[in-house]
Structure 1
Amino acid sequence: MNASDTNIVVGKPLNRVDGYLKVTGEARYAAEFPVAKMTYGVTIQSAIAKGKIAQIDTKAAEQVPGVLAVITHLNAPKADGEKGGGHKVQVLQDNTVLYSGQHIGVVVADTFERAMYAASLVQVRYDEEKPTINMRENLAKAYFPKGKIPREESPDSSHGNVKQGLANAAVRVEQTYTTPVENHNPMEPHATTAVWQGDQLLLYDATQGIFSTQQKVAEVLGIEPEKVRIMSYFVGGGFGCKGSAWSHVPLAAIAARQVNRPVKLVLGRIQMYGPVGFRPETIQQVSLGATREGKLTALRHTGTSQTSTFDEFIEPVGKSARMIYACPNIETSHRLVQLDQGTPTYMRAPGEASGSFALESAMDELAYALNIDPVELRLRNHADVDPSKGLPWSSKSLIQCYKTGAEKFGWQKRNPQPRSMRDGNYLIGWGMATATYPTNRSPASAIAKIMADGTAVVQSGSQDIGTGTYTVMTQVAAEALGLAVEKVRFELGDTKMPKTPVSGGSQTAASVSSAVHLAGNQARSKLLQLALADEKSPLYSSNAEDVIAQNGSFFLKNKSSVSETYQAILARHGMKTIEARADAKLGDEQKKFSMHAFGSQFAEVRVNPDSGEVRVTRWVGSFGVGRILNAKTANSQLIGGIVYGIGMALMEHTIIDPNLGRVVNHDLAEYHVPVNADVPDIEVLFVDEHDPHINPLGVKGIGEIGITGTAAAIANAVYHATGKRVRDLPITLDKLL
């Protein structure tokens, strides 16, 4: 029996099942849960980047009416911010200042306004030391990372002989590309509401990983993970910065225990620049060698990025270079420079976003050096197998992506000469780039329950970070169970539910759908077995293979009049529910195949030659990303990634005071992100792709591939329009005038 043969709902462009809750304001985020006797926490942040707290005077703050506690390193309980995996956090254990904006205290009061006012009264005197802020001035101190890059790969890789490959090349491109510090800026700020119930801790938290947050907080506080419950039903965006539990999360718990009342701690927008991660600055060198015919003979991609003095984060900019093009000689390396700033973190397509800007810009430069069309150059270097691992692809539709994207965009009409295309006084430029992101998956679990009334409840402790997890998992569950979508309720966001991985690395859809699919199939199969073994059932003694499930009933394939509803089966057996739990584990697929999603990005820009203003005016992206779970949410996901890439290319730049280490543009007035007027019509195309190897449903994650290649496509279009090659993001007016 296969419900999916007759109950196809996966892939359909269904509206979000949680849409009504969101538009009516009923969807509750971490700071919106009503809790009795609520108090409010506000953190005090360091005003220096390096040194010691010589004195901290809290007397005035403590005298403010309604203030319940002022917690600093002088009175904080013992905790260990280095435990629990993930980033190290600062939990008021000593007087050391490691970066500007570090949380050095928490004020708790009976109103938010009183807590804010009291925090402003705390006086701090520092023994300040000169901080190391500028990465470019400290490249001589760059070191080989201690840790690994994603998928437990070494920071450095090499196959073939790159030096020889470059020496033998007829044409070489060797350039340096840079990307600045960038900040995530999700609409919802970081927020935690902490409630102690005896020795049990409940946290409503804005997190991309409820289980990793549970583990982190438990170990920092020195309690058993089972005593920490995380609830996160809705997250207002994360983009990576909510993928780890930062200092404010255990601090909220510490404060709640100190005052013996619930504490709500919400970071202000300014407080989200520094202590909750950011995309690190990168300096990348790309060297390409090729024959006159455009076949790559060598590819070297090296990257240097920043990390903090107390932790290590590697931005894996060279990871895509290891697999994206066929080349006999490939070398990548990563180095780090320690700065007196907070620890960087994952930011949508970590490594691949920054790295694709450099590599795909270099490929465009090579295309011009060879006088070969940029699409044709990539086709000539298409990798039929993973060049570094020697493994076949689980599936790959990149050639189709190039062709469908170019055709829809009208690429064949492009005049390749820079500054040759105009619309009145405006310079028009067309650029393209390759997009790719690895197909990640982790173990995940789910429970499916078919209820006596013919409905179903499916639970998996995942997160919906705004991407549509509620909706697509409802579709997966409905198809597996043989029920209509409106009969299925999918629940997530609670560590009391079955375990799932963090919503990062574009793995939620692939991981959680596998578990939901299996659980739904098993619950439906259990119910069918009851009917097949029951003499009172019209399906008695039939073969399971001859039965189909649809809309809450079982039918014989060749005799649809022989049927029975789920409700009737459960009622006759006196059962309120029938349930199944599934644990979707990994096999050895990743040892046999290289697993990636691919795509092509095509951009048109309009440049004012007098002012240097750049506008993106048209976009086509074509993607091969496995089975689509929901055509509408998938389209939105990829549009979102492309918009994110437009910001990366043209606007986003965190400006840091070189002396004080402070972020200068720490709000949305000065840190620019794309608004509606900056975003053109974006057309997303999906190439039909069946992948039997990656997971039971053939699903590839799409949360991050949309941003890869985007900044490069824009930079390449700007060069085509102006003849000026900008290798330092963002592409601002001053770089074109």
Structure 2
Amino acid sequence: MSLFESITQSEPTKKMTMDEPVESLFSKTASKLVGKPINRVDGSLKVSGQAHYSAEIHLDNKAYGVLVGATIAKGQVENIDSSSLDGIPNIIKVVTDPKHFLRNSQQGGLKKAPKQGATEIFYHGQPIAVVIAETFEAATEGAKALKVIYKDETDQAALNFTKELSNAHAVDEKKGSDKNYVQGDPEQGLADAEVTLDRFYHTPSQNSSAMEPHVTLAHWEEDKLILYTANQMLASCKQQVMDALNLNKDQVQLIAHYVGGGFGSKLGIAPESIAAAIASKELGRPILITMTRPQVMEATVRRSNTRQRIAIGCDKDGVIDTLIHDTVSSNLPGEAFFEPTALSTHYLYRGKNRRVNYEMVDMNQVLSGSMRAPGEAVGMIAVECAMDELASQLDIDPIELRRRNEPEKDPSKDIPFSSRQLIACMEQGAEQFGWSQRNAKPASQLEGDWWIGTGMAAAARGNQLQPSEARATLQIDKSKALGVKAVIETDMTDIGTGSYTVFSQVAADLLGLPIDHIEMKLGDSAFPPAAGSGGSWGAASAGSGVYLACEQLREMIAEKVGLYPDTIQLDNGQIKQVGKHDLTAIEAAKESSQAFADSTIDKISETTGVSFSENVLEEQSESEKYDFDNTESYALADVVAGYDEQKISAKGQIKPGKNGKKYRQSSFGANFAEVAVHKVTGEIRVKRMTGAFAAGRILNHKTATSQCYGGMVFGIGSALMEEVIHDKRDGRLCNHDLAEYHVPVNADVPQLDVILVEEDDPYTNPMHIKGIGETAIAGAAAAIANAVYNAVGVRVYDFPITLDKLLYEMPE
């Protein structure tokens, strides 16, 4: 929002910048709904098919589009032969726009359009055209039949990461989410250390594999573009669309009421969105483009592959003096994103000599970008496997090693932690997992044909707050039992994480209403802008907007009924007075002045005989209608009915502030795993996992636990199976579907136990919450890898750990 808009806005707005610790109203509400494990409010809609996703929206006269991807890894498009589709029934047109079609998807949160241009080819699968037909089947047939002539320069493409390492170059730190950092003399510190560990770790490219593919239904209402689309961050995605098509803000609306998963792949707009918009404009009818699974994997976004060097120097007791984390990742030429693997390395363990260094290799492969827990998900594989190997080398329990290296402050910035519960997470997780009963010696437990091993790893994920807004409206609704409901509006999305539910709990708690009296409206760029779903900041940022809007309503109602904000209690549709307000000096002065004025008027009245009650005093103050000394409570519906149009609205705005710079904010956790490794085949099965996580106040224990389950399952995939494989000869993606790109399925996932460690962090936001889903990923794969080592005594440095990497080193 511009400064002018903020000044001229008509709705009362509660604004907060997190410059100091703040109290939370949740400790004072009557219902205490926040934290309770209530079921998803949108659950019944989803299981009954009534929650319509973008591909399920019906518009009259809709046509279907299927993208056409390049079949070379590098070169030029010389000709697209539309006549090759002559004779195929129901084909409408081949649409292409060499200037405006998206070459790449966009990164999350950026305001500019991604790279555009469909003529020059940079990777196999890059969209260059779209075939429009009356049916999806016809469009599919047409896309396969379309003849394209190229100038093929694949022999000049960069397709082998290992070979390209010699061409690694510096990253653009200004456009990244982490920075290079040097403290002390790391290399000398490593040389002087009593004990050293120096290893290289390799992690592969991965795909988010969200259940819902990328999809956009585009249509125009005169000069206004409306996109029903699968995006995680509508406010920034709207700006990307505006920039791509040279439209103004009143000409673009994005709607994403339900998003079937994203995991980072839908943070920015993808090629189908602009192609659908262009085709819809050209043909004058709605166009639906749903990407196929291979197209999603070939032409949207991947997690970058990495080569990471972890070097640790410590004394004989395991106290770390030196920590080095150097990373090389990959991306398309001209792209600035690099995998921020060392985000948590800056502050996780002590060490006066430290280095974080990033380099990047340009590759002719699909765009790399943020995938769930970007940075920590793969960075902590390397760090935590190294810590486990160091513990083994020193013959120290892995938890004890981490305890000895617990920093009192952020060692890289010399600032305090807003809260840090890593030790508590390790202790509680260890107790529930039964860590004290483990066999510390590798390859010492054989059960039948299976070697058994256990491992653990720490978890950390930085906490952030982003500017966000929301609107809250209380209005009369006679269909509700209490005669009133709250309508909450923000463009925040629900990507399966439970946004509808947790925000309903926030609003219900603060406004004293049952959950079914809250109407949550999300996923429309016409609503107040939020930061969106991503970065583990969605609930904290958008939720704080909801919180502040509801707090503003509480204050407005309090003023109307003659209460102070700290003495009003909204409980089950009733307004009550609780406690006693301590007057501030200013308030005391005002009351004294009012008392003096009242006394003066009374004296004048006695002297003159004139009654002011019938003239200047006849308009009774609204608040004087409410006497809480003689009445226990008043119905909220009756008070709301007294407003114009029988409703009252307010907005909330949250912004990050000094707290984010003065305190290191992070969620912490610990993952524990037990695995079985077959003594003949090397097959690995995860038998059980326990995760303990501290993420501030928990909004909903059921949805938070579910997020942790998801994170731990991600860890299983990262450790044992997930790997995007590009052919090093022609750049083709070899495993571009869920049959060949393996993700954990039910049979791969064992019993998962989650402990939510109690924590309160007043520095984060007015709700005191932190992100949790991505925290559970961090370290999960490392815990499994460390368990594999404990089972068979084999260290694997090249992920995922497939059986071929164990077979030749297995114990007899």
Regarding TM over 0.5, the answer is yes
* Residues 509-520 of structure 1: pairs in structure 2 closer than 5 A: 509-520=539-550
Q: 1:27 aligned to 38, 51, 65, which one?
A: 51
| Matched residue, 1:179 | 203
- For 2:569 and 2:184, locate their aligned partners in 1 and report how far apart those are by CA, in whole Å: 54
- For 2:631 and 2:802, locate their aligned partners in 1 and report how far apart those are by CA, in whole Å: 69
- For 2:532 and 2:692, locate their aligned partners in 1 and report how far apart those are by CA, in whole Å: 27
Does 2:503 correspond to 1:473?
A: yes
| Matched residue, 2:620 | none
- For 2:200 and 2:630, locate their aligned partners in 1 and report how far apart those are by CA, in whole Å: 67
| Matched residue, 1:309 | 333
Q: 2:349 aligned to 325, 331, 334, which one?
A: 325
Cα deviation, residue 161, structure 1? 1.5
Does 2:712 correspond to 1:712?
A: no
| Matched residue, 2:486 | 456
From the superposition, tell whether residues 637 and 142 of structure 1 become closer, same or farther in structure 2 (CA, over 3 Å).
same
| Matched residue, 1:624 | 694
With 572-581 and 42-51 compared, the bigger mean Cα shift is at: 572-581
* Residues 642-661 of structure 1: pairs in structure 2 closer than 5 A: 642-661=712-731
Mapped contact 1:216–1:245 kept (Cα < 8 A): yes
Does 2:576 correspond to 1:555?
A: yes
Cα deviation, residue 86, structure 1? 6.5
- For 2:100 and 2:308, locate their aligned partners in 1 and report how far apart those are by CA, in whole Å: 44
* Residues 296-375 of structure 1: pairs in structure 2 closer than 5 A: 296-375=320-399
| Matched residue, 2:652 | 582
Cα deviation, residue 686, structure 1? 1.2
The alignment partner of 2:789 has SS state of helix
- For 2:630 and 2:781, locate their aligned partners in 1 and report how far apart those are by CA, in whole Å: 55
| Matched residue, 1:136 | 162
- For 2:182 and 2:67, locate their aligned partners in 1 and report how far apart those are by CA, in whole Å: 46
The alignment partner of 1:632 has SS state of helix
From the superposition, tell whether residues 382 and 78 of structure 1 become closer, same or farther in structure 2 (CA, over 3 Å).
closer
Post-superposition Cα deviations, 1:544-579, rounded to whole Å, max 9, x if no partner, equal 544321011112337795210111112345641011
AA matched with 2:301: G
Mapped contact 1:308–1:342 kept (Cα < 8 A): yes
From the superposition, tell whether residues 615 and 87 of structure 1 become closer, same or farther in structure 2 (CA, over 3 Å).
farther
Cα deviation, residue 72, structure 1? 2.9
Whose radius of gyration is greater, 1 or 2?
Answer: 2
- For 1:140 and 1:600, locate their aligned partners in 2 and report how far apart those are by CA, in whole Å: 36
The alignment partner of 2:54 has SS state of coil
* Residues 382-531 of structure 1: pairs in structure 2 closer than 5 A: 382-453=406-477, 454-531=484-561
Mapped contact 1:88–1:311 kept (Cα < 8 A): no
Mapped contact 1:196–1:262 kept (Cα < 8 A): yes
Mapped contact 1:612–1:733 kept (Cα < 8 A): yes
Mapped contact 2:675–2:685 kept (Cα < 8 A): yes
Post-superposition Cα deviations, 1:361-413, rounded to whole Å, max 9, x if no partner, equal 11111001111111100000012211101110011111111111111111111
The alignment partner of 2:632 has SS state of strand
- For 1:543 and 1:105, locate their aligned partners in 2 and report how far apart those are by CA, in whole Å: 62
Cα deviation, residue 5, structure 1? 3.0
The alignment partner of 1:274 has SS state of helix
From the superposition, tell whether residues 304 and 568 of structure 1 become closer, same or farther in structure 2 (CA, over 3 Å).
same
Q: 1:667 aligned to 737, 754, 758, which one?
A: 737
The alignment partner of 1:429 has SS state of strand
- For 1:78 and 1:34, locate their aligned partners in 2 and report how far apart those are by CA, in whole Å: 25
| Matched residue, 1:599 | 669
Cα deviation, residue 586, structure 1? 2.0
Mapped contact 2:216–2:228 kept (Cα < 8 A): yes
* Residues 192-203 of structure 1: pairs in structure 2 closer than 5 A: 192-203=216-227
Mapped contact 2:241–2:274 kept (Cα < 8 A): yes
Mapped contact 1:432–1:603 kept (Cα < 8 A): yes
Mapped contact 1:90–1:247 kept (Cα < 8 A): no
Give 5+ residue unaligned stretches, structure 2.
Answer: 1-23, 478-483, 580-628, 808-812
Q: 1:692 aligned to 759, 762, 783, which one?
A: 762
Post-superposition Cα deviations, 1:93-128, rounded to whole Å, max 9, x if no partner, equal 452111100001111111111111122221112221
| Matched residue, 2:618 | none
AA matched with 1:463: T
- For 1:546 and 1:524, locate their aligned partners in 2 and report how far apart those are by CA, in whole Å: 10
Percentage of matched positions with identical amino acids: 41
Does 2:323 correspond to 1:260?
A: no
Higher helix share: 2
From the superposition, tell whether residues 325 and 117 of structure 1 become closer, same or farther in structure 2 (CA, over 3 Å).
same
TM-score, with length taken from structure 1: 0.95
CA RMSD of aligned residues (A): 1.9
Cα deviation, residue 78, structure 1? 8.6
- For 1:13 and 1:281, locate their aligned partners in 2 and report how far apart those are by CA, in whole Å: 37
Does 2:638 correspond to 1:612?
A: no
From the superposition, tell whether residues 544 and 264 of structure 1 become closer, same or farther in structure 2 (CA, over 3 Å).
closer
Cα deviation, residue 79, structure 1? 8.6
From the superposition, tell whether residues 564 and 436 of structure 1 become closer, same or farther in structure 2 (CA, over 3 Å).
same
Mapped contact 2:105–2:271 kept (Cα < 8 A): no
Post-superposition Cα deviations, 1:646-676, rounded to whole Å, max 9, x if no partner, equal 0111010111111110111111111110011
Cα deviation, residue 255, structure 1? 0.8
Post-superposition Cα deviations, 1:246-286, rounded to whole Å, max 9, x if no partner, equal 22211110111111110000000111122111011100111
Cα deviation, residue 167, structure 1? 1.9
From the superposition, tell whether residues 311 and 547 of structure 1 become closer, same or farther in structure 2 (CA, over 3 Å).
closer
- For 1:225 and 1:544, locate their aligned partners in 2 and report how far apart those are by CA, in whole Å: 37
The alignment partner of 1:5 has SS state of coil
Mapped contact 2:105–2:270 kept (Cα < 8 A): no
The alignment partner of 1:127 has SS state of strand
Cα deviation, residue 73, structure 1? 4.7
- For 2:408 and 2:182, locate their aligned partners in 1 and report how far apart those are by CA, in whole Å: 19
Mapped contact 2:159–2:728 kept (Cα < 8 A): yes
From the superposition, tell whether residues 325 and 254 of structure 1 become closer, same or farther in structure 2 (CA, over 3 Å).
same
Give 5+ residue unaligned stretches, structure 1.
Answer: 533-541
| Matched residue, 1:536 | none
| Matched residue, 2:246 | 222
The alignment partner of 1:704 has SS state of helix
| Matched residue, 1:159 | 183
Mapped contact 2:113–2:241 kept (Cα < 8 A): no
With 641-650 and 94-103 compared, the bigger mean Cα shift is at: 94-103
Mapped contact 1:555–1:563 kept (Cα < 8 A): yes
AA matched with 2:166: A
| Matched residue, 2:6 | none
* Residues 526-537 of structure 1: pairs in structure 2 closer than 5 A: 526-532=556-562
From the superposition, tell whether residues 217 and 619 of structure 1 become closer, same or farther in structure 2 (CA, over 3 Å).
same
Mapped contact 1:219–1:225 kept (Cα < 8 A): no
The alignment partner of 1:322 has SS state of coil
- For 1:26 and 1:120, locate their aligned partners in 2 and report how far apart those are by CA, in whole Å: 33
Cα deviation, residue 528, structure 1? 2.8
From the superposition, tell whether residues 358 and 546 of structure 1 become closer, same or farther in structure 2 (CA, over 3 Å).
closer
From the superposition, tell whether residues 430 and 346 of structure 1 become closer, same or farther in structure 2 (CA, over 3 Å).
same
- For 1:25 and 1:728, locate their aligned partners in 2 and report how far apart those are by CA, in whole Å: 42
| Matched residue, 2:595 | none
Size of the alignment, in residue pairs?
724
Mapped contact 1:82–1:220 kept (Cα < 8 A): no
Mapped contact 1:62–1:70 kept (Cα < 8 A): no
| Matched residue, 2:591 | none
- For 2:103 and 2:456, locate their aligned partners in 1 and report how far apart those are by CA, in whole Å: 48
The alignment partner of 2:299 has SS state of coil
Cα deviation, residue 87, structure 1? 8.2
Post-superposition Cα deviations, 1:117-157, rounded to whole Å, max 9, x if no partner, equal 12222111222111210111011110001243655x42x10
